[in-house]
Amino acid sequence: MGQRLNRCLDVPVALPPLRRRLLLLFIMLFLWLYMFYSCAGSCAGTRGSPAPPRAAPPLPQLPAPGEAGEESSLEEQRAAPDAASPISSFFNGSGTKRLPQAIIIGVKKGGTRALLEFLRVHPDVRAVGAEPHFFDRNYERGLAWYRDLMPRTLEGQITMEKTPSYFVTKEAPARISSMSKGTKLIVVVRDPVTRAISDYTQTLSKKPDIPTFESLTFKNRTTGLIDTSWSAIQIGIYAKHLENWLLYFPIGQILFVSGERLISDPAGELGRVQDFLGLKRIITDKHFYFNKTKGFPCLKKAEGSSKPHCLGKTKGRTHPDIDQEVVQRLRDFYRPFNMKFYQMTGQDFGWD
């Protein structure tokens, strides 16, 4: 018995060759990962004298909306990069989450989704897909929450978002200006009569039992008094809404995109947008083809895909037939507002 025990102690147990290889591979992988993360965390100091690793500083607390000193702290938030460890950066990808430098602020049913999808083809544009609704519905959540929604960007890339309801939200201009007075604003506008009918068509698809367009248009159809409290009508009074934005932003910091030309000449309108954003003109005619079924241009290749891409079935709905007398009364109603809007923007959109 003693001799057998001595043999067990003196002779090491040999592992099968496959297990030995797996164990060796595991040890090598562990050592490589340890060296990689050690270097990533400490080699960013001065050459020849690596700086000791430091704990990431906590994000500064944002003051509540309206408190003194908000503007300076918001600018610091915008400039400060994300505090991320080497490991989190490795798994989350490179780049920094920044507050948007450009926002598509309107208008609903004007062509904002098409514009954003077209812009995302540009390699220097990174945009949030869903509408954040920060400056109208979620402002109390704070800028840290808002910034966390943004995609990571590299140096030289632009962060964007689009929420069309901002244009008609009274508080939005002051709030965006408080975030950054240098924010570039884009407004996609469309013939207000056609826009109103498109707005109604969208609502009708969700609520088939709503009253007719004609009955909603008038407070009193006999007198022809237009109901400007109806949002479908109110949104199209562009001059009124623009006055509010000009209290906080110069006209040169707002680009007005024609929803009609975005359909008839998408490359031309995208050229203007790229110039406005300070981007190289990369999106051109070669990126588009006209879809006769939908009645608007589509992308030959969408972002991150090699296949053609058109907007979903919720875009390009067939409009219901509207009484032409009602359409004409709406044109007469909008005409003076359109004329004022043309003067304010220096552009004639040709809606009359």
Structure confidence by residue, pLDDT tens digits, 315-332: 567 889 999 999 999 999
Tell me the C-alpha distance between 76 and 59, whole Å: 10
Is 113 annotated as belonging to a binding site? Answer: yes
pLDDT over 80 (residue 91): no
Is 314 annotated as belonging to a binding site? Answer: no
Q: How many helices (H) and strands (E) does the chain have?
A: 14, 11
Is 162 annotated as belonging to a binding site? Answer: no
Is 206 annotated as belonging to a binding site? Answer: no
> Which residue, 103, 258, 269, 119, is CA-closest to 186?
103
pLDDT tier at 34, thresholds 50, 70, 90: low
Give per-residue pLDDT as tens, 234-289: 999 999 999 999 999 999 999 999 999 999 999 999 999 999 999 999 999 999 98
Residue 103: which H helix or E strand, with range? strand 102-106
Is 309 annotated as belonging to a binding site? Answer: no
Q: CB-based contacts of 276: which residues, under 8 Å, 6+ apart?
A: 184, 186, 255
Position with higher pLDDT, 248 vs 21 = 248
Please state, rounded to an integer, the average pLDDT across all residues of the chain. 81
Tell me the C-alpha distance between 152 and 98, whole Å: 7
φ, ψ for residue 330 (rounded to 5)?
Answer: -65, -40
Is 111 annotated as belonging to a binding site? Answer: yes
pLDDT over 90 (residue 13): no
From 97, 108, 109, 184, active-site residue? 109
The pLDDT of residue 35 is: 63
pLDDT tier at 17, thresholds 50, 70, 90: low
Give per-residue pLDDT as tens, 113-141: 999 999 999 999 999 989 999 999 999 99
The pLDDT of residue 65 is: 34
Distance from the Cα of residue 268 to its chain's centroid: 21
Give per-residue pLDDT as tens, 283-305: 999 999 888 777 779 998 665 65
109 tagged catalytic: yes
Give whichever of 54-58, 63-67, 94-98 has the largest mean pLDDT: 94-98
Is 317 annotated as belonging to a binding site? Answer: yes
The pLDDT of residue 40 is: 44
Please give the DSSP secondary-structure letter assigned to residue 14. P
The pLDDT of residue 8 is: 42
The pLDDT of residue 10 is: 47
The pLDDT of residue 295 is: 76
pLDDT over 70 (residue 150): yes
The pLDDT of residue 12 is: 46
pLDDT over 60 (residue 103): yes
Percent of the chain with pLDDT over 70: 72
Tell me the C-alpha distance between 283 and 120, whole Å: 10
The pLDDT of residue 29 is: 73
Give per-residue pLDDT as tens, 186-240: 999 999 999 999 999 999 999 999 999 999 999 988 888 999 999 999 999 999 9
Percent of the chain with pLDDT over 90: 63
pLDDT over 90 (residue 1): no
pLDDT tier at 27, thresholds 50, 70, 90: confident
Tell me the C-alpha distance between 288 and 281, whole Å: 15
pLDDT over 50 (residue 314): yes
Is 110 annotated as belonging to a binding site? Answer: yes
